[in-house]
Structure 1
Amino acid sequence: MCGIVGILGTDSVAERLFEGLKRLEYRGYDSAGIATLVDGKIERRRAEGKLANLAAKLASDPLPGTIGIAHTRWATHGAPTEDNAHPHIVGDVTIVHNGIIENFKPLRDELIAEGREFKSQTDTEVVAHLVDRELKAGKSPRDAVAAVLPRLHGAFALAALFAGEPDLLIAARLGAPLTVGYGDGENYLGSDAHALAGLTQRIAYLDEGDWAVLTRESIEIFDRDNNPVTRQIVASGVSPAAIEKGNHAHFMLKEIYEQPVVVAQTLRSYLRAVEQRVAMPQMDFDLGAIERVVIIACGTASYVGMIGKYWIERFARLPVEVDVASEYRYRDPVLPLNTLGVVVSQSGETADTLAALRHMKANGVTTAGIINVPTSSMAREVDLLLSTHAGPEIGVASTKAFTCQLAVMAALSVNLARAKGKLTPEEEADIVTQLTESPAAINAALAHDDEIKAMAGTIAGARDVLYLGRGPDYPLALEGALKLKEISYIHAEGYASGEMKHGPIALIDDSVPLIVLAPSGPLFDKTVSNMQEAQARGAQVVLISDAAGIAQAGENTIATIEMPQVHPLIAPIVYAVPVQLLAYHVAVAKGTDVDQPRNLAKSVTVE
């Protein structure tokens, strides 16, 4: 979750460290801090809350120094207070940390028994004490870190700065991402390429268990057995401009409006318009031999999996299981041969999903990953990488990553269907046509932004909101409810519309808005029937449909949101737009922090 930046510079680094933190604030914003070396001594500035508070401290009490580390925190162990903010200093070492040290309690007890005193509630401070103990025993900084790393259990990325060592940073990763960057007389480290976008384009990703020794002239990398290794230096491809808001009020709104372009970019990798076929990257296994599909994801990505289940079962006639990643391993799942395990993740570092991927691979399952970061841990470990091309997504509530994941899931569904002999060339050509038209349909949906904004006030005062949908629109109802919860803090639930009469209808009264997703088509009449049951009990309905659907069922609603007429295949991609915009405008009306909602972070790298 947390964000880490480190710089070995040729001039003052505090301002650049702070800029790196700004690019990482999506990973956590409970507190932040920077530490540098000043005349060989560690100096530190920390602040509770968002980066603006740290900026105020740096303005009143500037921090010199040409080497430093910085951190923005999503709280795990310990409340989000200044005492618990990173960096943590013990003796001659200061540490920043992303992840969880699972065995911190016995380590802490051991250190307390030796007479050591702790100033925070964090697991991170344990690491600083352990390294300090090794330093006081006479070890060099690199030998001290090498001695401590095997004692740490869990998932972590660490960076360490040492008093009296003006040309040394040490970093390590296990289960959480970490990147090193190469400059001219300077070197860098960061949680991801975003952190280093303003510093360098030449980066290397540390592998699982790696640790690194950085000076201004060199970066030495070692594996978990302390053997020197070489990791490929690549171009990051991330520009600072790509992670700016431009003329939009929030990153979330910018990313909603980027969807026609990024969905088109994504589809361009999979559609062959001339041949009217859906292509896939080269793979080392036979899709035709697949007899079962398991899709694993968390949060919004899990709803992509649920929609994918409808598509794969319909087109490829394969049984599909969708599982929440955080539960998957713990129920001892049955994994027969000829299963394709598909993980879905924007970051490619989601801890629960990564653990599920490794569980599947350990049990001989062929794996594929629908992932937005091609250099991430998951992307490197799956048998088949299915890249989305959404670009950096900074808003915590996922928008463009969701629709790009849906586009790739549709491509996978078609390829499975063709490989299983369930799709004629004519049917595939029709699907290619529908997918090709989806960016224009998304653009048409965005044209209704103003009317969605105008009616958002009718939802903003609600305490509870319900969403309804049938078929693939049921997972979209779940996604709409999640978006509203995430950024407006209104309690919301999504239901399969036919399930309303089996309990949830008891919640209906005239204070509960009901958002109904009902594109015209084979499921429209059933959905509208369920909607009318709720209206008869006082529900205040917002109907999201096309012109034909609104003409048929728009009476007695408090609002309608008109979508373009689209093929049922691409309806979930297009209808994602109004639920995103509705959540956005309700949150703005309520005055909540749209891009950085409370208690959340973008990349969940802890279980």
Structure 2
Amino acid sequence: MCGIIGIISSNDNRVPKKITEGLNRLTYRGYDSCGVAIISNGKLEIVKDVGTVDKLEKIYKVSEKRSFIGIGHTRWATHGRPTQENAQPHADCDFKIAVAENGIISNCYELDSELEREGHIIRSRCDSEPVAHIVEKYLKKGMSFEESVLKTIPSLKGLFALVLISVHEPDKIIAVRNGNPLMIGIGNGENYVASDLPALLSFTNKYIPLKDGEIAIITSESVTIKDFNGKIVVRKPFITDLTPESAEKGKFETFMLKEIYEQPTVIQNAILLAETKYMDKFVKHILEADKVFMIACGSSYNASLVASYWFNKLAGMCIPAVIASEFNELYGNSVDEDTAIIGVSQSGETQHVVTTVKQAKEKSAKILGVINVLGSQLMYLSDVYLPIGAGPEICVLATKTYMNQLMTLFLASLHTGLESGRIDRSEFSNYLSLARKLPEKLLSTINMSDKIMPKLSGRYYKQQSILVLSHGLNYGTACEGSLKIKEVSYIHSEALPSGELLHGHLALVDDKMLNVFLLTKDDTMEFTLGNMSEVHSRNGKIIAITAGEPVGEEFSSHMVIVPEIDPLLSPFLYVVPLQFFAYHLAKKLGRNIDQPRNLAKTITVT
């Protein structure tokens, strides 16, 4: 979704430059248009346009402007086309108030009509502009800036985060959280607010996540947090050990490539973070529940799908992975106090996940979170949560966060198997030992894939469609590989359990169709080989991915061999060649790899 930032300083008038730096770190949240609002010499100035922050800087020289206070916005369009008029921030009629918003104000058109009847001039078709006009209305009635914002909130429907500045009170930024994330950064003579932590890392390592239903009054020297009723909230700041460099590309051409190469390192964080008392509590809730579900979206759903197989194989438990937006229609009426919901979300803010979790919590279900971002909604909603420790992921596509979700969920299923008595201590120790050896195998797989996949992508980048197939445990891996291909290359791709080929999908296979098979060396392999034979006999092109000694060579146009590995851990390695295949397809096609069209990193709308 959109990215917003605000900065106020007591002694540094280079705030506009800092805002553009922060916006550049938020472009994964939206890149249709962007803008900056500052107060200088008692006047509000807004510059905004279609396109990137770099384009805005080139045209308007934002970094050369001087101000001690400002807000910025980078947009992923939901209401109104990407135009200069719809770009944010927006102002009121008198150009005294500026607002930037992330989310959706669902009654915006009704508010526009009402405001126009009152004589207000609405300049855009963006859902956030009415906020500035409503605040303007209350300011003209003699209310303070803070009072006007609090009075405005009840008239807004939807889920949103706001940052506002006003020439009437130029010594403060007001931030509002109603469903969408905001982090308050604590500095020295300077304070900050932003949608995500990466925007703050160049300025501070101290931050306070706002919770739903809270407003922050931010000056250069203080931060006051209140609920929507005006009651003061006291909360200690978090201190992060992340560095600004963790949110930069460094020597890599793209963030996606950097984050793929980081996987052998960050997966070790997931292993260390799982060995805590929180894992014990997590497993205890699973074992005490009559019903357990995993809910997630996108790549997090694919990781959960793999984990469903692990919970079955290691713990003998049926824990289905369910797409969060479909959960209530499928299982909502079965949720009660004996239910545990495992919510899996990189951001911890994915709206379908958060909404479903809230509804389950209202029915007294236990909530178990698997998250990457501390201070997120899912963290606060959870009875117990497991952090995956992947660090900032700037590319819109999930790579290292998917890998760490896999590891966290694998270890959760392993501990559940031990505590349930399904596996003994010896089996537990063996699998844990194998997991700890994965970084070396991952690095080997990365190096191999980065050499092989440019050639394969050069051969297949003109494909109209690609099928990715597997049977059993790696079906979830096939789903993730297929998602990566379509997300970044824009080539249509579909993942299938290979056994489904004969149930209609084989009609798609001809000498033009590329089929990628994942061969797991377990009791599913013979079935998958049979499916490969069926495709081969119809002249389908086949890339086969397997571990150790090659199998299925007689059916394959190309073999990709990852290091020998226990089949139960094969999803960790098999996904890497698929990540690189998608990457190099996109590179060959000239796609914007870190910022694919129409996509954003954190989906905080429904």
Band of TM-score, shorter chain: over 0.9
- Give the aligned partner of residue 275 of structure 1: none
- Give the aligned partner of residue 150 of structure 2: 146
SS of 2:472's equivalent?
A: coil
**Correspondences of 1:302-313 after superposition (within 5 Å):** 302-313=301-312
- Give the aligned partner of residue 423 of structure 1: 423
1:399-436 deviation digits (Å, cap 9, x = unpaired): 01011101111111122222222121122122112212
* In 2: Cα distance, 1:482 partner to 1:112 partner: 44
Q: 1:345 to 1:284 in 2, by over 3 A?
A: closer
1:258 aligns with 2:259: no
SS of 1:32's equivalent?
A: strand
- Give the aligned partner of residue 219 of structure 1: 223
Instruction: Compute the displacement of 1:279 (Å).
Output: 8.3
Match for 1:70: what amino acid?
G
1:194-225 deviation digits (Å, cap 9, x = unpaired): 11111112221111111011122221111121
1:503 aligns with 2:504: yes
Equivalent residues of 1:452, 1:561 under 8 A apart:
no
- Give the aligned partner of residue 525 of structure 1: 526
Match of 1:128 among 132, 139, 143: 132
* In 1: Cα distance, 2:79 partner to 2:389 partner: 35
Equivalent residues of 2:32, 2:52 under 8 A apart:
yes
Match for 2:22: what amino acid?
G
* In 1: Cα distance, 2:241 partner to 2:581 partner: 32
Match of 1:112 among 106, 110, 116: 116
Equivalent residues of 2:37, 2:47 under 8 A apart:
yes
- Give the aligned partner of residue 475 of structure 1: 476
**Correspondences of 1:257-336 after superposition (within 5 Å):** 257-270=261-274, 280=279, 282=281, 286-331=285-330, 332-336=332-336
1:100 aligns with 2:101: no
* In 2: Cα distance, 1:61 partner to 1:241 partner: 21
Q: 1:205 to 1:270 in 2, by over 3 A?
A: closer
Corresponding pairs, count? 600
1:516-536 deviation digits (Å, cap 9, x = unpaired): 111323211211110110111
* In 1: Cα distance, 2:445 partner to 2:275 partner: 22
Q: 1:501 to 1:285 in 2, by over 3 A?
A: closer
* In 2: Cα distance, 1:146 partner to 1:47 partner: 30
Equivalent residues of 1:372, 1:390 under 8 A apart:
yes
Q: 1:208 to 1:106 in 2, by over 3 A?
A: same
- Give the aligned partner of residue 584 of structure 2: 585
* In 2: Cα distance, 1:233 partner to 1:479 partner: 36
Equivalent residues of 1:291, 1:319 under 8 A apart:
no
Instruction: Compute the displacement of 1:501 (Å).
Output: 1.0
Equivalent residues of 2:17, 2:64 under 8 A apart:
no
- Give the aligned partner of residue 390 of structure 2: 390
Instruction: Compute the displacement of 1:24 (Å).
Output: 0.8
1:348-406 deviation digits (Å, cap 9, x = unpaired): 11111111111111111112111111221111221111110111111111001011101
Q: Give me the identity figure in percent.
A: 36
1:242 aligns with 2:246: yes
Instruction: Compute the displacement of 1:234 (Å).
Output: 2.1
SS of 2:502's equivalent?
A: helix
1:494 aligns with 2:495: yes
Match for 1:149: what amino acid?
I
Equivalent residues of 2:278, 2:386 under 8 A apart:
no
Instruction: Compute the displacement of 1:327 (Å).
Output: 2.1
- Give the aligned partner of residue 61 of structure 2: 59
Q: 1:61 to 1:238 in 2, by over 3 A?
A: closer
- Give the aligned partner of residue 19 of structure 1: 21
1:78 aligns with 2:80: yes
1:257-282 deviation digits (Å, cap 9, x = unpaired): 1111111221123359xxxxx98255
Match for 2:484: what amino acid?
K
* In 1: Cα distance, 2:496 partner to 2:283 partner: 40
Instruction: Compute the displacement of 1:115 (Å).
Output: 2.6
Equivalent residues of 2:4, 2:71 under 8 A apart:
yes
Instruction: Compute the displacement of 1:574 (Å).
Output: 1.1
Equivalent residues of 1:444, 1:564 under 8 A apart:
yes
1:461 aligns with 2:462: yes
Equivalent residues of 2:274, 2:411 under 8 A apart:
yes
Equivalent residues of 1:266, 1:408 under 8 A apart:
yes
Equivalent residues of 1:546, 1:562 under 8 A apart:
yes
Match of 2:186 among 172, 182, 188: 182
* In 2: Cα distance, 1:558 partner to 1:167 partner: 66
Task: Return the TM-score normalized by structure 2.
Answer: 0.96
**Correspondences of 1:228-239 after superposition (within 5 Å):** 228-239=232-243
**Correspondences of 1:147-166 after superposition (within 5 Å):** 147-166=151-170
Equivalent residues of 1:281, 1:384 under 8 A apart:
no
Q: 1:285 to 1:518 in 2, by over 3 A?
A: closer
More deviation in 326-335 or 489-498? 326-335
Equivalent residues of 1:477, 1:517 under 8 A apart:
yes
Instruction: Compute the displacement of 1:584 (Å).
Output: 0.5
Equivalent residues of 2:172, 2:218 under 8 A apart:
yes
Task: Return the TM-score normalized by structure 1.
Answer: 0.96
* In 2: Cα distance, 1:128 partner to 1:6 partner: 16
- Give the aligned partner of residue 516 of structure 2: 515
Q: 1:529 to 1:330 in 2, by over 3 A?
A: closer
Equivalent residues of 1:291, 1:318 under 8 A apart:
no
Equivalent residues of 2:274, 2:386 under 8 A apart:
no
1:509-563 deviation digits (Å, cap 9, x = unpaired): 1111111111323211211110110111111111111242x2x312353322111
* In 1: Cα distance, 2:557 partner to 2:284 partner: 52
1:474-509 deviation digits (Å, cap 9, x = unpaired): 111111111000000000000000101111111111
* In 2: Cα distance, 1:6 partner to 1:473 partner: 44
Q: 1:567 to 1:33 in 2, by over 3 A?
A: same
Instruction: Compute the displacement of 1:73 (Å).
Output: 0.7
SS of 1:570's equivalent?
A: helix
After TM superposition, where is structure 1 displaced by more than 6 Å over at least 4 residues in a row? none
SS of 2:428's equivalent?
A: helix
**Correspondences of 1:442-461 after superposition (within 5 Å):** 442-448=442-448, 449-461=450-462
1:485 aligns with 2:483: no
Equivalent residues of 2:150, 2:228 under 8 A apart:
no
* In 2: Cα distance, 1:485 partner to 1:399 partner: 14
Match for 1:209: what amino acid?
G
* In 2: Cα distance, 1:498 partner to 1:134 partner: 63
Match for 1:47: what amino acid?
D
Match for 2:124: what amino acid?
S
More deviation in 97-106 or 109-118? 109-118
SS of 2:221's equivalent?
A: coil
* In 1: Cα distance, 2:178 partner to 2:465 partner: 41
Equivalent residues of 1:47, 1:57 under 8 A apart:
no
- Give the aligned partner of residue 194 of structure 1: 198
SS of 1:342's equivalent?
A: strand
Match for 2:127: what amino acid?
D
